[in-house]
Amino acid sequence: MKIVDKINKALDDDRCFWSFEYFPPKTQQGVMNLYDRIERMCKLGPLFIDVTWRWGGRSSDLTLELCSNSQTVYGVEANMHMTCTNTNFGLIKEALEKAKDQGVQNVLALRGDLPDGTVEFDPSVGEFKYATDLVRYIRNTYGDYFCIAVAGYPEGCQGPEDVDRDIQYLKEKQDAGADIVVTQLFYDVDNFMAWVAKCRQAGITMPILPGIMPIQNYGGFKRMTELCRIGVPQEIWDRLEPIKDDDQAIKDYGIEVAVDMINKMKAGGVRGFHFYTINLERSTRLVLEKLNFVPAVSEVRPLPWNPSLSEKRAGENVRPIFWRNHARSYIKRTELWDEFPNGRWGDARSPAYGELIHGVQVRLPADQALCKWGTPESVGDVTSIFVRYCQGKLDSLPWSDTQLQAESSAIQDRLAQINGAGFLTINSQPSCNGAPSSDKVHGWGPSNGFVYKKAYLEFFVSPANMQALLRRLATAPTATYYAVNKAGELFTNCVEDSPNAVTWGVFPGKEILQPTIVERVSFLAWKDEAFDFWNAWSKVYAEESPASALLKGICSDWYLMNIVENNFQSHPESIFELFDGLGSQPTN
């Protein structure tokens, strides 16, 4: 979808909105970390994100990959930067064709900085001299397919003396086909508001989004404002000077400045705000929280998982619960399906999952993984790591890059308890009997609806503990389970292969939605991935080390098991009663 349409809808509703900018990291580890950050920050409800590219198109493929995956995996509209300076025409044409093929409809057209201190345009390297030329080419070639954003400079591109001339150029960009304006960062709100008024007087009618960059540290702020020739009110310098060596105090003050700026602009009628995140999360999140810019649950969670914006997956509204923390993998392994489940999980689904081409990997560098998880040399050590995660003392495991989901806070103590007994959980949800769809913890879907969930646990378990649990399950008529080891030996009490809905919602004027299911074929596809994380974790340690041998041994000997308590009307902890008195930690 074109972001100008979403912006105009928000403006028509007189509703505030915000967007985030990221840049492509230079390492693969940095890319993986950025994906995790984008996924987390999507919960803050951005109207869109955008991704820069390096001059000359040096990051064009990665920029497009980040944009495409953000739309397909995380369900957020993405805006792809494109600079024309020193960028070969063929590269621009190829990038635009790829963007169109992958469903990216939004482009931020920029001239870009001239490299290596050059001051003159070199026509032998790039065919477009100005951003206006690029805008005109995109509009003439692709018609209305792309929403074209352009840059605005409240303090002039090169300095204050350029302001009036830059406004004239901005009008030319609008006439060439541009749709929206995103401004350079600034800190003088009065100057920005006056600049917007001059733009309107010049006939510029495009929505104008002010660029906000929360201050992160003194040195970086000073360099950035000097590089961009940004005027900073003396009051800000006066407040920064006494704390310039205290990075945390600088960050806290930067949040205060951003909040004050946005409140002032909001009072002046501005409704959209574009955050230059510099790939950081905390300051942007705290600014939004302090402004009480909290998106409606229906906007952030139309389903319990992020719906894809891929045209091919339009209408998809059912997924297995197993990939809850691994959406990218699920998208990749199902990308060749002809159709995607809509309304029910059944014949619409193709019969096979794609293979794991590159396997799984621990997201942390080895030194950080060692610092966080230590060097386990016994099952008790591994158990302790899982318990600390459940207690909130660790923020990640190999199977999950984030802390426990908010809904699991109600069962946090019980999760820690069964992990301590040797049932190592990697996925869970408590039961829920008719919570409002607007509920901040359990809610999802359209307004005025009600959501329901069955209690669900997924965990690794030793053979001895599993046998004891199976005997207990034989006396639990409302519980169903699957258990499988790496070799594929399967235990289950499900007499049919029919999908079991574990989440559903009832909404006014709609059929009942069942977006999350447990199902045998999907579980057996997921188990290869789940077990592979043990091997990936083992690679943090030396090949022949006790820690590596321990983790590989768990991978080869233990079982992956899931249990559904189908009585959703029972209290949220009822599923844990199956584990009371069970559990042991086998010696190595």
Q: Residue 155 is encoded by which pair of tokens? A: 């303090």
Helix (H, G, I), strand (E, B) or coil at 400: strand
Residue 47 and residue 18: Cα distance in Å, rounded? Answer: 6
Residue 446 and residue 421: Cα distance in Å, rounded? Answer: 40
Sign of CA dihedral 173, 175, 177, 179: positive
Q: Which helix (H) or strand (E) holds 10?
A: helix 3-12
Residue showing tokens 């206006």: 132
Residue 528 and residue 541: Cα distance in Å, rounded? Answer: 21
> Which sequence positions are flagged as catalytic?
21
Helix (H, G, I), strand (E, B) or coil at 19: strand
* Phi, psi (deg, nearest 5) at residue 343: 90, -35
Residue 507's closest CA among 453, 454, 447, 441?
Answer: 447
CB 502, CB 332: distance < 8 Å = no
Residue 532 and residue 538: Cα distance in Å, rounded? Answer: 10
Q: Which helix (H) or strand (E) holds 450?
A: strand 450-453
Q: Is 229 left (phi over 0), alpha (psi -120 to 50) or beta?
A: left
The DSSP result for 483-523, as a single string, is: EEETT--EEE--SS---EEEEEEE-TTSPPEEEEEE-HHHH
Biggest alpha carbon–alpha carbon distance for the chain: 82
Residue 321 and residue 500: Cα distance in Å, rounded? Answer: 10
Helix (H, G, I), strand (E, B) or coil at 482: strand
Residue 149 and residue 217: Cα distance in Å, rounded? Answer: 29
First to last CA, the chain: 55
Q: Residue 339 is encoded by which pair of tokens? A: 């159709």
Q: Residue 272 is encoded by which pair of tokens? A: 């959209």
Residue 117 and residue 55: Cα distance in Å, rounded? Answer: 13
CA 507 to chain centre: 26
